[in-house]
Amino acid sequence: MRIAVLQFSHETVTFLPYDTQLEDFIYQGSPVGGEALLATDPKGYMGGFVQVAREFDGVELVGIESPLWPKTGSGSGWVTQQAYEHFLGRMITELRAKGPFDGVYLCLHGAMAVRGVPRPEADIARRVRAEVGPKAVIAATFDPHGNEDEEFLRHADMGFAVKYYPHYDMHLQGQRAARNLVRGIRGQFKPAHVTLKLPIISPTGVQWTGASPWSDLIQRALTWEAREPDLFVNVFFGFPWADVPDAGMTFQVISNGDRALAEKVAKDMADFAWRKREELLYSTKVHHMGPGVTMAREAVAARHTPVVLCDHSDRSGYATWLLREIIEQGLTRTLIATIASPEAVQAAIDGDAQPGDPFDMEIGGKADPSAGEPVRITGTILRISTASTPRAMGGGQQWLLVGFGDGNVVVISPFLAQIIEPAELWALGLSPEDFDVIAIKSRVHFRRGFDDSGFARTILLVEPDEPFLGTVRLDALPYENLDIHGFYPYGAADFEPG
């Protein structure tokens, strides 16, 4: 049994002013094929897939050369058609050279947006299908932020989406993809599926599955899966920062040959979400920047520390709103991570900066209006350190640490970086006992290390007052490829599940 393994993943913020280019996908370790591809991300989709696929006798996995996440993480705009065609074209050529295959595993995200290609994941499946033929079985894994409609499963046989946000079950979904791909090739699993789109669009910051009713929605999917063997319920929350025609919430239900069951469950899930739509949109409290930072000060005074201040809205990494407010309100013992400022990092590297050297530069801002103005920081260089943050979160680069004010430290990175574990900060040489407040840029992923781990005693989500890219005010975004007024809560959206 020969199975080809491919990866092509990005979460594209199309409203950012700079495209994701071919060279953004090319760096030490990317693109990668063969065994090295199979060894990437042992705790993620790929690790789960490879682990279970190799539990079956006689399965040969062929790693097709694939790009990993771009250097920019998700802090870059439209993927250029050149980059997309370059990598996909090479994959198809390699499939042809190394075929025939009985099956293909596509390690995808679902929210990649490519100039001129309205539904990239479906397009990947279509072109892979054209190459491997109608008999091969194609299985994929997806992020819950995927923007998908029925087009993908026209060309592929099955998909398995992560349920939790933060994404705790990537390895599990990889395992499911392997098991059911092998069963599909053996004729033991005959996918019958239903895809149902629901006209709800929500900012990602409110989609935390730790809070009701997002947790109830996921529990409902898990209950269906527990009740009905061989039933798989994918809940795509959607990714509103990509201006694509298939954005918004989607349910995908896959059964073993029972389309009526898949349809019943898809309708039940969609009906439940529709009934809960108001709570889904407004369950998470987001504070304006000024009052949010004031609340952080009050929490410090009350010793409800550590406090995590989270600007959930920064999509470029350059935003300075929270840094500026922290300085204006005179916060002390505060760690800000990170402000994207590639020139500052490069200047320090080029100048062979050493710990103790003075630092006086404007950092951040300017990338687009939502980033705000640069902020001048006068302080002392503490160190230049290699980030342990995962590449998809903007890590794997040299970061610059600058001390300023009364016990404050700002971490300057070349790209948007999303800190999801406090350990990523301590790995830079910092100590938790030195800080009362940690200010980060993340919507929900940080809850993995700062909330669900028991680390933070106070968590405050903040955003700037203006309806910028990344804030909860999606109706301020210049969508061209979808009409936001057809979605709850921005228009007269309606849904009849029956």
| Residue ranges binding Zn ion (CB under 5 A) | 143, 145
Looking at beta carbons only, is 121 or 143 nearer to Zn ion?
Answer: 143
| Separation between Cα atoms, residue 155 and residue 139, nearest integer Å | 10
Hunting for tokens 């409902």 — which residue is that? 220
| Separation between Cα atoms, residue 180 and residue 63, nearest integer Å | 19
CB of 93 to Zn ion, least distance (A): 30
Q: How far is CA 101 from CA 62, 98, 128, 297, in A?
A: 9, 8, 11, 60
Looking at beta carbons only, is 147 or 408 nearer to Zn ion?
Answer: 147
Structure tokens at 56: 């079956």
Structure tokens at 161: 């989406």
Cis peptide before 213 (omega within 30 of 0): yes
CB of 343 to Zn ion, least distance (A): 30
Q: Which residues contact 78 (CB under 8 A, 6 or more apart)?
A: 12, 14, 19, 20, 113, 114, 115
CB of 444 to Zn ion, least distance (A): 8
CB of 10 to Zn ion, least distance (A): 11
Structure tokens at 355: 């710990």
- Asked whether the beta carbons of 375 and 402 are under 8 A apart, the reply is no
Looking at beta carbons only, is 110 or 422 nearer to Zn ion?
Answer: 110
- Asked whether the beta carbons of 24 and 87 are under 8 A apart, the reply is no
| Separation between Cα atoms, residue 492 and residue 498, nearest integer Å | 19
Hunting for tokens 């190394």 — which residue is that? 98
- Asked whether the beta carbons of 61 and 54 are under 8 A apart, the reply is yes
CB of 430 to Zn ion, least distance (A): 27
Looking at beta carbons only, is 145 or 197 nearer to Zn ion?
Answer: 145
CB of 219 to Zn ion, least distance (A): 19
- Asked whether the beta carbons of 210 and 451 are under 8 A apart, the reply is yes
CB neighbourhood size of 186 (10 A): 12
Residue whose beta carbon is closest to Zn ion: 145
CB of 243 to Zn ion, least distance (A): 17
Looking at beta carbons only, is 24 or 169 nearer to Zn ion?
Answer: 169
Looking at beta carbons only, is 53 or 393 nearer to Zn ion?
Answer: 393
CB of 143 to Zn ion, least distance (A): 4
CB of 176 to Zn ion, least distance (A): 18
| Separation between Cα atoms, residue 144 and residue 289, nearest integer Å | 28
End-to-end CA gap in the chain? 42
| Separation between Cα atoms, residue 327 and residue 467, nearest integer Å | 23
- Asked whether the beta carbons of 328 and 460 are under 8 A apart, the reply is no
Looking at beta carbons only, is 143 or 325 nearer to Zn ion?
Answer: 143
Q: How far is CA 200 from CA 145, 177, 266, in A?
A: 13, 28, 15
| Separation between Cα atoms, residue 388 and residue 396, nearest integer Å | 6
Looking at beta carbons only, is 145 or 220 nearer to Zn ion?
Answer: 145
Looking at beta carbons only, is 19 or 169 nearer to Zn ion?
Answer: 169
Looking at beta carbons only, is 167 or 179 nearer to Zn ion?
Answer: 167
Which of 173, 181, 156 is closest to 56 using CA atoms? Answer: 181
Looking at beta carbons only, is 85 or 451 nearer to Zn ion?
Answer: 451
CB of 121 to Zn ion, least distance (A): 14
CB of 145 to Zn ion, least distance (A): 4
Q: How far is CA 35 from CA 4, 94, 177, in A?
A: 12, 15, 19
Looking at beta carbons only, is 175 or 207 nearer to Zn ion?
Answer: 207
The Cβ-side half-sphere exposure at 117, using a 13 Å CA radius, reads 23
Q: How far is CA 209 from the centre of its chain?
A: 14
CB of 461 to Zn ion, least distance (A): 17
- Asked whether the beta carbons of 243 and 15 are under 8 A apart, the reply is yes
